[in-house]
């Protein structure tokens, strides 16, 4: 098992490939695991994360992977998507149906150019959904941008290995162009786990108000509204792509508002 936070120094030849991780959610076919590993190794990527996989890395997966078996051997397995994205500063989701989440949608080629040109050395995750259903709205809410693979509208269906191959190929081509371009340093971006901590603290404060009660007073209605509104907030936060310093400002604002409304010891209530 490899650590997701072990990033090469920016001057390393492998630095740009080392900051890319392919994340598969709920993969159900062992052959697809092997096909994804081959697609990744063909294009120089090696970080693979499996989120609650329904398929196991068995003999079929290894046989399909062939000389890319090392990628399966070092793949991380996690129980949920937030854990997979904890160290990520950018999250891209692949889907044929962008849904109503108001996220920027880029073609695979345009997305690859953005990713390859990003000077940040933080982790960048590219997320793929289960073979039959794709990514859910809840999973999509963890992303900042959508990758769309242009295909024949009469038959736009790609299997998982093909989808990863196309995205990885486009990244490789963009990488070859970007590697000769001078890179500028930018401030460290906030990671997914840092944003999640802020969102959790904000949700806990909102729970003390009637903010989530808008669609009804029944407990199930409140819970559903809470999930829906926090998912929208998550999309907004990810789309903004703030730096750690900017997030610290928002943390300070929330802390100040919380303290200003907290009853002081001995005060009349």
Convert the pLDDT of each residue in 198-249 to its tens digit: 888 888 888 888 888 865 567 777 888 888 788 878 777 777 777 778 888 8
Mean confidence (pLDDT) of the chain: 82
Q: Which residue has the tokens 């044929």?
A: 96
The more confident residue out of 177 and 106 is: 106
Looking at per-residue confidence, does 232 or 171 come out higher?
Answer: 171
Q: Is the pLDDT of residue 155 over 80?
A: yes
Looking at the chain, how many residues does it have?
269
From residue 86, alpha-carbon distances to 66, 78, 202 in Å are 30, 11, 18
pLDDT of residue 221: 79
Q: Does residue 264 have a pLDDT over 60?
A: no
DSSP of 122-166, one letter per residue? SEEEEEE-BTTTB--HHHHTT-SEEEE----TTS----HHHHHHH
pTM summary value: 0.71
Of all residues in the chain, the percent with pLDDT exceeding 70 is 83
Is the pLDDT at 252 greater than 90? The verdict is: no
Report how far apart, in Å, the C-alpha atoms of 150 and of each of 23, 102, 106, 113, 224 are. Answer: 21, 19, 10, 16, 34
What is the per-residue pLDDT across 87-100, written as a single tens digit (0 to 9) for each? 998 999 998 765 66
Token pair for 157:
């269906």
Assign 3-state DSSP to the chain and report helix, strand, coil percentages, each to 5.
45, 15, 40
- d(CA 16, CA 243) in angstroms, rounded, equals 20
Residue 25 has which token pair? 């959610």
Q: What is the pLDDT of residue 8?
A: 38
Could you give the count of Cα atoms lying within 13 Å of 127 in the half-sphere of its Cβ? 30
Q: In sequence order, what are the beta bridge partners of 22?
A: 48, 126
Rg (Cα) of the chain, in Å, rounded? 20
Our separate counts of H helices and E strands in the chain read 11, 7
**Separation CA 233–CA 200 (nearest Å):** 11
Residue 127 banded pLDDT, cuts 50, 70, 90: very high
Task: Determine the pLDDT at residue 214.
Answer: 66
Q: In what order do the strands lie in the sheet with 145-148?
A: 76-78, 47-51, 20-25, 123-128, 88-94, 145-148, 105-107
The answer to whether 48 touches 61, Cβ cutoff 8 Å, is: no
CA distance 241 to 232: 15
More confident residue, 184 or 42: 42
- What is the model's pLDDT at position 255? 82
């Amino acid at each position: 098992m490899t650590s997701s936070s072990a990033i090469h120094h920016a001057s390393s030849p492998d630095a740009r490939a080392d900051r890319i991780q392919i994340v598969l959610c709920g993969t159900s076919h062992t052959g697809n695991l092997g096909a994804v590993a081959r697609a990744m190794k063909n294009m120089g990527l090696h970080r693979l994360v499996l989120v609650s996989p329904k398929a196991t890395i068995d003999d079929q997966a290894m046989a399909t992977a062939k000389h890319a078996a090392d990628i399966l051997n070092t793949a991380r397995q996690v129980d949920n998507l937030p854990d997979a994205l904890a160290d990520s500063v950018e999250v891209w989701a692949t889907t044929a149906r962008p849904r109503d989440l108001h996220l920027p949608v880029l073609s695979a080629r345009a997305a690859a150019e953005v990713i390859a040109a990003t000077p940040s050395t933080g982790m960048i995750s590219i997320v793929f959904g289960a073979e039959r259903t794709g990514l859910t709205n809840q999973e999509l809410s963890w992303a900042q941008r959508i990758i769309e693979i242009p295909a024949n509208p009469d038959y736009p269906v790609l299997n998982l290995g093909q989808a990863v191959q196309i995205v990885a190929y486009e990244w490789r081509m963009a990488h070859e162009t970007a590697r000769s371009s001078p890179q500028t340093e930018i401030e460290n971006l906030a990671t997914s786990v840092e944003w999640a901590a802020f969102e959790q603290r904000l949700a806990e404060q909102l729970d003390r108000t009637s903010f989530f009660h808008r669609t009804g007073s029944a407990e199930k209605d409140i819970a559903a509204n809470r999930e829906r509104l926090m998912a929208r907030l998550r999309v907004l936060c990810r789309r903004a792509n703030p730096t750690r310093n900017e997030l610290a400002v928002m943390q300070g604002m929330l802390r100040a508002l919380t303290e200003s409304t907290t009853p002081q010891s001995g005060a009349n209530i």
